[in-house]
Amino acid sequence: MDRIAIYYRVSTDRQDLDSQKVAVERWLEELPQKPKTIYVIKDEGVSGKHENRPGYRELITLAMKRKIDTIVVYRLDRLSRNATVAIKTLLELDENGVGFISITQPVLNLGHANPFRRTMLAAFAEIAEIERDTIVARVRSGLDAAKRRGVVFGAPVKVTDEVVLQAKALRKSGYSYKSIAVELSMSVGSVHKALKSIDPVDERPSQGEACVD
């Protein structure tokens, strides 16, 4: 754990970062070996339900570029309020060689020194797969219902709100544009059109941030 990024977040102006900072700094002081590099990143007055947070995006960029080897937070919900998104993020961080530590939730620590790291990641991967299958099942159920109402799928296809939501759900669960096109019987161009009608940040496969503010 030589290069860490400490991430702080509060969702309202009435909250402050002091309690998080005190706890994290105490944790740092108790480390037998101090990190060589420490990035401190903050998001203040920003909800954890969204990924388009300046600090969060900076954090993920550092991780993806492997400029850090561990992310440290006060609690998992500081990273994300959505459990599914948080789990996917932790898995993606692991794939990129980045560990995760929640100083107030030792059971969730995925630091490289944790002997149960592999077991925990395997459990998280299984949870993510179950969620993915659930999303796909819901999308297919929606398609069947639409077909029963007379909606015709294929290329070209009208990009309705229903199609947008289905495409977004599949994209969030990790599907590529081509896979979404096959699943929804659309052209790849129509998929791009559907996803461009929503927030650009939300159209990316989920990365990582359940809990409460």
| CATH number, residue 86 | 3.40.50.1390
CA distance linking residue 19 with residue 164, whole number of Å: 41
Residue 201 lies in a domain: no
CA distance linking residue 169 with residue 142, whole number of Å: 12
- Does 129 have pLDDT greater than 50? yes
| CB atoms inside a 10 Å sphere around CB 95 | 9
Domain termination residue (choose one: 69, 84, 114): 114
**Residues 130, 166 share a domain:** yes
- Tell if the pTM clears 0.85, that is, is over it: no
The predicted pLDDT at position 7 comes to: 95
The predicted pLDDT at position 209 comes to: 35
- Does 133 have pLDDT greater than 80? no
Domain count, the chain: 2
The predicted pLDDT at position 111 comes to: 67
Quote the Cα angle for 6-200-161, to 5°.
130
Residue 164 lies in a domain: yes
**Residues 71, 141 share a domain:** no
**Residues 69, 164 share a domain:** no
Cα dist from 17 to 37, 104, 208, whole Å: 21, 15, 21
| % of residues, the chain, pLDDT over 70 | 72
**Residues 73, 16 share a domain:** yes
Q: Cis omega before residue 156 (within 30°)? A: yes
**Residues 133, 97 share a domain:** no
**Residues 8, 105 share a domain:** yes
Q: In which domain, by residue range, is 88 found?
A: 3-114
What is the token pair recorded at 194?
A: 């559907």
The predicted pLDDT at position 210 comes to: 33
**Residues 160, 85 share a domain:** no
| CA 36 to the chain's CA centroid | 27
